[in-house]
Amino acid sequence: MSEQTDSESRKLLGRLRDAMASDIAGQARLDEITKLIADSMGTEVCSIYLFRDEETLELCATQGLNKQAVHQTRMRLGEGLVGRVAQKGRVINAADAPQARGFRFMPETGEEIYSSFLGIPVQRLGEKLGVLVVQSKSKREYSADEVYALEVVAMVLAEMAELGAFVGEGAALSARHQQSVLIRGTTGQEGSAQGHVWLHEPRVVVSNPIADDPERELARLHEAVEDLRVGVDKMLRASEGGDGEQLKVLEAYRMFANSKGWMRRMEEDISLGLSAEAAVEKEQSVARARLEQVQDAYLRERLSDLDDLSNRLLRLLTGQGAETGAEMPADPILVARNIGPAELLEYGRSLKAVVLENGSVGSHAAIVARALAIPLVVHAERITTEALTGDHIMVDGDQGIVHLRPDDTVVSAFREKIAMQAQAQERYASIRDKPAVTRCGQTISLHMNAGLMADLPSLAGSGAEGVGLFRTELQFLVRNQMPRRGELSGIYARVLDAAQGKRVVFRTLDIGSDKVLPYMKPNDEPNPALGWRAIRVGLDKPGVMRMQLQALIRAANGRPLTVMFPFVAQFDEYRRARAEVDKAIAREDKLGHVLPSSLEIGAMLETPSLAFAPPKFFQEVDFLSIGGNDLKQFFFAADRENERVRRRYDTLNVSFLTFIERIVERCVATDTPLSFCGEDAGRPVEAMCFAAIGIRTLSMRPASIGPVKSLLRRANLDDLRKIISDARHRGDQSVRPVVMEWLRAQG
């Protein structure tokens, strides 16, 4: 960096700071800034384009172009050179702009006389705010020093925008974090809730992007980086001999903390006039922008590590820790980029809902959210940059939609929806203790899914006849080390106590795929959903299975015990697992422990192959439970984590219903009890159709039991079975349209 450029940049930043501190309106401040930049850079034109909405940029200020074009010239994201800079988050430096790929001529601006073009993205931590442009008549490419200096200026503009320095009339100059925002994500757990935002990781605010004393800022940076390195080294020493994956992350942290390139770039930023905090955030923004472009999973992880490390460094520099002094709202809705299961459990049922920027429908957080019965939306892009702690927020988990700072119309409509749901809940409460008997006289047994002790109070309140699925993996997922047999036995005993004699089906450890234990070495599998998981892990590592079976037997302590093995794909897997139960029973008997008064051993049918097992399997198994979530994705070859295909196939597809009907027929022939467990069991229309084709037991989340029971009690399954049969013979793809038409006719 030349001394002249260094000096000029510091002068320009000093003027920008004065402009930021001056008591003038946002538009006047923007106008003043474009003039300052053009003078400092020695260019005829400087323009600032800001986003007026997600897809549209607006010319908000200019020095050199026609003033009449301000707030009139707009372009779509990706349109013209300016649109391409914004879309890609990358610099465009063109000596002859009209000849550059993607150039779009805007006659109203009068820019036809300018040849050279330099466009710099104005972005902050992955959030695109606009584009800074300089232009000249002469055909020349701007030097690396000039580009770098303008990037520093763009960083300051981003911070000024965040601090509200450019508020004025029109959408592009509207105050940040104040307007209503609708964010579409993906349903992780159904339900609706309203409340106020609680940010899991509060945003660090850089209130002093420009500094007078580079030497002092360098000293502050070096001191903070040294503290950071010491902290990472301490974490590494504490983790030696522990989890390999955690060690890998900490090694990446240490690599970045000692990176000379990272340090040199931040030092150069400071030499140009940025404060230490702004220098860190500038490089963090660059890393975030790269993260969006990178496809390689390894590189994405490393850039994410740098992002996390930058946050640690910013907290050291600003003193803004996780404890900001803000008080958690009385009705908190948690907003985070992502969150681990143990952290989410710490919040517990105090949360009204959870919104994650990343996450997935099968993540550990999603499993815990379902166990806590709180609405969850994942893939909510930009939520952590848009939301502030205390913002009013409404979460529609049914639609996967988040309303942030909603306007009165949305609030009114949303509250009506919640009120209608409350009325419906009152109606469901009135039939809580009544059986789910259909109009044609069929009784359907409704059970609930659970995974935590906190779920068990719902057993009485929901009207469930028992627990059709208790997910035992949650006790393993929320710990940093393998739980002991005594711990598990105590938990399982308390579950049986809370059930008060009602049947509880304990599913053995279902790990692998998206459920990787923190202390288990992850396997690099190309398709983990079809990989080493559930019963396959249990049979290959029988020590854990034996320990869990012993804990279950001891927890029963003379009471009935029901155990189910997950993801069984063939008869031999069930036989081997059953043999482990027999061994555990024999061992416990030999040790003099009280054995269960009765023992049922079942399997979860989640793979199509098990539906075609030999008749002997159906005769030997004590019961079967269709695991609808996995079975559906394997039946249609549609990954339920993939948004492009997960909603493509309907549960009420004739082929899928016919397949389930064949399973029902095989179970009837061998007198094998059968249930359906999964999200679709809790959807009233789907549940009613399953009952019509012969399934007599359904297991679902507690909140779904009321709606399902209400519809079943009003349904005639004989009529519905005929409607499904007619649709099949007609060649309909799905029975949903005719079923919905029939329901409407029934009122």
Superfamily of domain 181-200+325-420: Phosphohistidine domain (3.50.30.10)
Q: Which of 63-72, 389-398, 409-418, 555-564 has the lowest mean pLDDT?
A: 409-418
Under the banding of pLDDT at 50, 70 and 90, the label for residue 1 is very low
- 3-class DSSP string for 178-247: CCCEEEECEEEECCEEEEEEEECCCCCCCCCCECCCHHHHHHHHHHHHHHHHHHHHHHHHHHCCCCHHHH
Task: Give me the residue spans of the domains in the chain.
Answer: 3-173, 181-200+325-420, 214-318, 431-746
Interior/surface letters 236-250, b for 16+ CB within 10 angstroms, e for the rest? eeeeeeebeeeeebb
Q: Which CATH superfamily is domain 3-173 in?
A: GAF domain (3.30.450.40)
Residues 6 or more apart whose CB falls under 8 angstroms from that of 493 comprise 554, 555, 557
Query: Which of these is catalytic: 200, 364, 379, 447?
Result: 364
Q: Write the DSSP assignment of 65-111 as a string of letters.
A: S-GGGTTT-EEETTSHHHHHHHHHT--EEESSGGGSTT----GGGTG
Span 451-465, pLDDT tens digits: 877 677 778 888 899
Q: How confident is the model at residue 721 (pLDDT cuts 50, 70, 90)?
A: very high
Q: pLDDT value at position 582?
A: 95
pTM: 0.70
pLDDT of 104 above 60: yes
Domains 181-200+325-420 and 431-746 share a fold: no
Residue 402 DSSP one-character state = E
Residue 376's contacts (CB-CB under 8 Å, 6 or more residues apart) are 187, 188, 189, 353, 354, 355, 356, 359, 365, 366, 369, 370, 397
Picking from 505, 695, 678, the residue whose alpha carbon sits closest to that of residue 606 is 678
Give catalytic status of residue 46 as yes or no.
no
| Model confidence band, residue 361 (pLDDT cutoffs 50, 70, 90) | low
Q: Looking at residue 332, what is its pLDDT?
A: 93
364 catalytic? Reply is yes
Asked which of 126-130, 175-179, 318-322 is least confident by mean pLDDT, the reply is 318-322
CATH topology of domain 431-746: TIM Barrel (3.20.20)
Strand partners, 394: 194, 403
Q: Give the Cα separation of 128 and 118 in Å (integer).
A: 17
Domain 214-318 = CATH 1.10.274.10: yes
- The 10s digit of each residue's pLDDT in 553-586 is 999 999 999 999 999 999 999 999 999 999 999 9
Strand partners, 53: 56
Is the pLDDT at 709 greater than 80, yes or no?
yes
